[in-house]
Structure 1
């Protein structure tokens, strides 16, 4: 009988050879092709983002044997995602284009994080790569807080015996870091590519002292601000050198500083009426005795032209901001009518009472009382007469509160608005059933509302009303530049509204 001996050394050699020949494989029996670990080529190993924003982990992942899973992990962000390719595609993939979006929570307080990307192939081989995520991304363009309005006319006055000059105050902000300002006035060498460094600050102010040639001429002007990432914002306007200009628009300013001129969303300074050549009329409600006012042809600054009392002759006006004294309105709780002639430099002032001021709806309709015919059919079904701002329909009107002293003055409680958002509203009566146009006001322009005309399609009208009206269904869509608390005021007699910062 032959005897069979077990050779242990030979057995393990054979087993090792078999394993080496077949290679590693997972439980599903996928064969090895090259037996190499996967390869990761991420688009970026450093992602800059910000709270409340979504970032994307992206890149190309390859493996000749077949990719099984991709894990994305960051405990500090509560990110633990496994992308199982076999489960998704019913087979492993040799190439996979990774694109995974993840949103940073708005209340996140961390500053930087590490996301680990781990790829496993069908043979169990893994490779990992870290992605650094920091909350220092820059996504916003710089913002002009104080500057000439885009498309506006800046006037340099030719005064006898003087060189035309003016001060132009610029204030800009950025969510991260400002780089520099660039000023260009076409045809003026001194102001060609004039650069002013902002030194990486988030807020920057600069006063340009501009001297112009002493001849009547218009010069295109461009002001551009850049942040450290190259994002920019530009204002384009015109510098007009002239002796006297019949300005298309004039404004009444009842604030003391340029910061106050520019901290509102709209309405400050208040647009007044251009009633004739070089002639303007302001109707203004004075809430506080001894209110000081000036008249400005530009909205954002007291320079280069500011109409006020001439200290050399207080019966006359001056347009020189360095000399002008405020016009003082001595009476409270009355309406003022002020006429100015900027060619003759004259002004006239008179007052009229709250009782003499008219509203565009019938006098028998009392705000807050049930005096409205609900269905406009002569019936007796009544509802309270109120109105306010709405972004959709009359059932969602936020009704105004009426001022305790002036029945023509209305307001809302302060609200917090976010910088960068655009509003969308008209002023309309409240109604329970979406019935439109009992009373309604629309603005003159969407982005920069200045006058709120009473809509001529409104059902209720007061024939004695002589204020602004409109046939246009224009919704106001002003943009909020700075996050903060704002309060809305509306004067139904004047057809003027403002949305201003409050502390």
Structure 2
């Protein structure tokens, strides 16, 4: 059948070259009806896409004689597609709804491309249109890089007007439109719309004065991009008396928001208004503060009284307090604070006195289970989705502290992409993927703050002071994998302390 259609097309083309043509036909009833080229009505001739994403060319194609084929070509994208309607349907079509999807390579670096769409009828006549494909498609919702947590707290103090410094940072993979801030009960923020002025990043900071009374303010932050994709964050701003905070964090850096997880470091809540931190001090003179919120030193920062360094106090921001200074390097500090009694205490212990659950010597042969006849292998830990895969991301043991591990090795680069979703555990390496030996899980897969030892084989160092598959408070460590999402692409470093059960992924220097 196809051969016959081609012969008919050639015959029609031959007569069309004459001075007078009345049309041509064959025994099957296909004829040159109107002598016109096909009509292509595309939905759009400009499509937006991006590397690793699709674009779809759509439109309605018509021809009175019948469409035999549609060609789509773009040499730069290695696109050369012919849709043979006669082969698909057994006959030409007088009307055809085109919908062709093409996936752009994730490695594509070009900025724009032209796809030629050519419609051919059985008379050999053609109609072509160009479709411009630009690489500025918006596929991601805006991301809050910095925003208040579920609850932001301002503490009342005698003779002081309570203030809160609002810090919000939003990014988008293309262009932001605006940030809208609604704080119920504050007229200036009901709502406040901050325009992004065509930029992909927006930073907003403002000090807010509040009434001197115990009160909660509901806050809603809405970021909208140029394609009207939106992301919403909700929080409560609570003005209150000193309270027994559910969580407290140790901050040893001013940069609290560029980590993937782990900064600042959560510490243990040991009693009413009481908290205990264990911290490995790498160098002399480390300055630390304590915060009941993760994202900022405001509105509450605990440190030492400016007039009496023996007394713990708090202020709205670290400028109102002195830091606690850790003078001895390469030791663990144990720090107890009581925020109600305004007291604190420090003591140190050596890395040799510290214990962790690992029951093997790092880098040496181990007696971990293996198949009969297989050789022994050296003990290492790493991160990955199996003990086999952990071998591709092995931690390096710190030269001064055997409980401390890093990834990648010095001089190597580890890059993470914005929007990338990780999914891993920390485990021993095993060439055949044995499970349940030396492993850690986390407290919350998407909001990781601490790591719990998780050996189903109960493979535990007998000298370890901790408890397998239990947190310090006695609750059970669940089988939660680490699944953080990267908000900002770049080079990173993973640091893990097996003694503390704490880890962090931070930008590499």
**Does structure 2 conserve the Cα–Cα contact (< 8 Å) formed by 1:26 and 1:124?**
no
**Does structure 2 conserve the Cα–Cα contact (< 8 Å) formed by 1:428 and 1:441?**
yes
Q: Which residue does the alignment assign to 2:353? A: 356
Q: Which residue does the alignment assign to 2:12? A: none
| 2:250 aligned residue (248, 252, 259) | 252
Mapped partners of 2:24, 2:114: distance in 1: 31
User: CA offsets, 1:128-173, max 9 Å, x none?
Assistant: 2222221222222111111123xx1101221111222111211121
Q: Does 1:227 align with 2:206?
A: no
Higher radius of gyration, 1 or 2: 1
Mapped partners of 1:480, 1:80: distance in 2: 36
| 2:174 aligned residue (151, 165, 176) | 176
Q: CA deviation at 1:107?
A: 4.4
Q: Does 1:85 align with 2:82?
A: no
**Does structure 2 conserve the Cα–Cα contact (< 8 Å) formed by 1:25 and 1:122?**
no
**Does structure 2 conserve the Cα–Cα contact (< 8 Å) formed by 1:486 and 1:502?**
yes
Q: Which residue does the alignment assign to 2:328? A: 331
Q: Which residue does the alignment assign to 1:303? A: 298
1:24 to 1:177, Cα distance in 2 relative to 1, 3 A: same
Q: CA deviation at 1:335?
A: 0.2
| 1:277 aligned residue (272, 275, 285) | 272
1:339 to 1:73, Cα distance in 2 relative to 1, 3 A: same
**Does structure 1 conserve the Cα–Cα contact (< 8 Å) formed by 2:45 and 2:131?**
yes
Which ranges in structure 1 are unaligned for 5 or more consecutive residues? 1-14
Q: CA deviation at 1:52?
A: 2.9
1:380 to 1:55, Cα distance in 2 relative to 1, 3 A: closer
Q: Which residue does the alignment assign to 1:3? A: none
TM-score (norm 2): 0.88
Q: CA deviation at 1:203?
A: 2.0
Q: CA deviation at 1:376?
A: 11
Q: Give the number of aligned pairs.
A: 480
Mapped partners of 2:264, 2:27: distance in 1: 76
**Does structure 2 conserve the Cα–Cα contact (< 8 Å) formed by 1:26 and 1:123?**
no
User: CA offsets, 1:52-86, max 9 Å, x none?
Assistant: 32211111212232101112233443433222211
Q: CA deviation at 1:227?
A: 1.9
Q: CA deviation at 1:114?
A: 2.5
Counterparts of 1:441-452 in structure 2, within 5 Å, are: 441-452=440-451
1:157 to 1:92, Cα distance in 2 relative to 1, 3 A: same
Q: Which residue does the alignment assign to 1:392? A: 386
Mapped partners of 1:389, 1:243: distance in 2: 43
Q: Does 1:499 align with 2:468?
A: no
User: CA offsets, 1:268-322, max 9 Å, x none?
Assistant: 1111001111111100000111111111111111111111121121111222113
Q: Which residue does the alignment assign to 2:479? A: 473
Q: Which residue does the alignment assign to 1:409? A: 404
Mapped partners of 1:200, 1:139: distance in 2: 17
Q: Which residue does the alignment assign to 1:162? A: 160
Which ranges in structure 2 are unaligned for 5 or more consecutive residues? 1-14, 471-476
**Does structure 2 conserve the Cα–Cα contact (< 8 Å) formed by 1:373 and 1:381?**
no
Q: CA deviation at 1:20?
A: 6.6
Q: Which residue does the alignment assign to 1:457? A: 456
1:318 to 1:399, Cα distance in 2 relative to 1, 3 A: same
1:396 to 1:253, Cα distance in 2 relative to 1, 3 A: closer
**Does structure 2 conserve the Cα–Cα contact (< 8 Å) formed by 1:37 and 1:121?**
yes
Counterpart of 1:180 in 2: which secondary structure?
strand
1:43 to 1:292, Cα distance in 2 relative to 1, 3 A: same
Counterpart of 1:190 in 2: which secondary structure?
helix
Q: Which residue does the alignment assign to 2:344? A: 347
